[in-house]
Chains A and B, each alone.
Chain A
């Protein structure tokens, strides 16, 4: 009998959730102290997928780092590519051809849809509904097919290049995207019927894991997580990179910052992404797809912090160049890493069933948390 039981009659239970657990989205280890089913203390333990990306980046050329960037957030590789090319481009002051910019935007937004679809599916599984997962993957598979026809890979695309993109769109890509969007829009309504309006789902998510506006800013959340708390912060608008200022789109925000708001923000973001893709396709004109850049680039010495609005949030790359072919320092600010930190605060006082609901709603990818 421990001291605690002697004194209080109760014992706090320590539950190790993960690293092998069905709903920790990878190798995340949560150390939970619980009073019955109520959590009194939570401590995320990360690093099981640590591959030393920043150290590796210092040993790879700037171009090869794009291939490496695929592995940060491996379900939204295009956005990672985007972040990886912006820094050296700005350092070398390269003007990317218009066509390449639009292709990049189409790819990044398709990837946002793909990533949010995974969120939708896995969140359903976390909550206990298995079937939406398969519906989400059916749609994601179509995006992956489109990607495959462009760059020849389905997961690690390695499509962006410093100065443009690696290959032009095949002839059937634009019709393919158009028909995908037409197909996808009604499916979103179906998702709403399956989960968003389902009373059990709402019961599980509404009012669970609230993050206030101040908290969200204080913990530097980004992406859908901060927008669900009512902060209108989207790098695509606030610090428009690439050609995002040419498009007309809304930024969905939530009010309460609970799990349901975070979920709804993502669902609405998919609609907005579809709008952006449609506009980008309209503007797509024949032309160069890559600027004239040497095969092995040597950005001038200097430093820059570039960031993109990845599906998970602000994906920043802080790169320092010393004028050689290798980056001197390549810091990756993974949105999942920063978003996950708030978990230790949010989980206090929730039930164990809420842990998966909250963790799922933050939408982390361990590849990006640990890098």
Chain B
């Protein structure tokens, strides 16, 4: 039976179960059953991603506006301009797709796809709820980091192919930045992995049933993760690849229309992924009060981190590119090594 208080994960598991029984009754082969199951999940995920991107863009506008004593969009769609993002998307769809005359056309075209696909893949292993995970892989977290490091390739492709000095500088900067911040990012998560002893997302969530890792010595890891994660998604204070006041718009200066939309969309989906991992690894994922459906508590935590990132963005100035590297290599990386050491000692002491 289904109750309202039951979470979406239970619902999904129940539906899968019913479907399996149904398939077994009809004698449908396992392969087809599996494909339909995963296909349904993928479709649901796509809908969720596009909705999330819309919500995040709207949220960014409103958060920035209210921090800056403004209202933000107020007209489109009626109540507080709720449909502004949708209107913007329609605008981006209808806009002319400009390719610079001397651009490397093929690379220029493919760059937005290269950045968007990895950010979709990342969603597969995010545990939204109990049972509600696309693929509960043994190497869950590695998949995300592996794919998200492809994003740098795309940014570099976009910057190079546009044949514009500003985009080139933006691309080069982002290559340097994202590669150097990947290390602390992964190392900061390593503390949690050591504590749990597994890379599997569901294991990590289950390990936090009683106490979130945020309130253990992994706290330091959380801070490093947030800083490095901000750098990874190119948001202020680490937005030097875009660096509006220096490089006009950085790597996506020459993009327009839907391609630019893809860059923008992937920026926000990446933000969501980074926040979702933070929620999973440090804030207990879908663990929460028993009366709250798991997905709600997961999304609440994720959006809290998203808000934090936005809060950073609208408060801080931007680093300079060389100081950014200094900060990454000379401060954040040693700190994350220290973090690992500390966690190791903690594990030894407590176990």
Do any beta carbons of A and B sit within 8 angstroms of each other in the complex? yes
Which residues of A pack against B, CB within 8 Å? 13, 15, 21-23, 37, 124-131, 133-135, 138, 194-195, 198, 200-201, 203-204, 351-356
Question: Is B248 part of the contact surface with A, judged by Cβ < 8 Å?
Answer: yes
Nearest CB of chain B from residue A359's CB, rounded to whole Å: 10
Contact of A134 among B69, B169, B321, B323 (CB under 8 A): B69
Overall SS of chain A's interface: helix
**In contact, B318 and A128 (Cβ under 8 angstroms):** yes
Q: Distance in Å from the Cβ of B243 to the closest Cβ of chain A? A: 7
B231 to chain A, nearest CB (A): 13
> How far is A112 from B269 in the complex, measured between Cα atoms in Å?
45
Across the interface, which residues of A come within 8 angstroms of B239, CB to CB? 128
CA distance A126 to B318 in the complex (A): 9
**Contact (Cβ within 8 A) A354 B320:** yes
Residue of A nearest to B315 (CB): A131
Whether B18 sits at the interface, judged by CB under 8 Å, is no
* Shortest CB distance A121–B (Å): 11
Sample of 6 A–B contacts (CB below 8 Å):
A138-B69, A198-B317, A200-B318, A200-B319, A352-B169, A353-B243
Report whether B316 and A198 are in contact in the complex, using a CB–CB cutoff of 8 Å.
Answer: yes
Checking A126, A127, A131 against B68 with a beta-carbon cut-off of 8 angstroms, the contacting residue is A131
Flag if A128 contacts B316 (CB, 8 Å). Answer: yes
Q: With A and B bound together, what is the CA distance between A127 and B323 in angstroms?
A: 14
Instruction: Say whether A128 contacts B248, CB under 8 Å.
Output: no
Among B315, B317, B318, B320, chain A packs the most CB atoms within 10 A around the CB of B317
Q: Return chain B residues, CB-CB under 8 Å to A356.
A: 245-246
Question: Please, which residue of chain B has its CB at the minimum distance from the CB of A359?
Answer: B245
Q: A22-B248, A356-B245 are in contact. Are A195 and B317 (CB under 8 A)?
A: yes
Interface residues of B in 276-320 (CB under 8 A from A): 314-320
Interface status of B236 (Cβ within 8 A of chain A): yes
Q: Which of A15, A198, A201, A353 has the most chain B CB atoms closer than 10 A to its own CB?
A: A353
Q: Hey, which chain B residues are within 8 Å of A127, CB to CB?
A: 245, 317-318
Residue interface bits B242-263, CB-to-A below 8 A is 1, else 0: 0111111000000000000000
Q: Which listed residue (B165, B243, B322) contacts A128, Cβ 8 A? A: B243
Q: Which residue of chain B lies nearest to A122 when distances are taken between CB atoms in the complex?
A: B245
Chain A, residue nearest B313 (CB):
A130
Question: Given contacts A23-B246, A127-B318, is CB(A37)–CB(B69) below 8 Å?
Answer: no
Verify B321–A129 contact, CB threshold 8 A: no
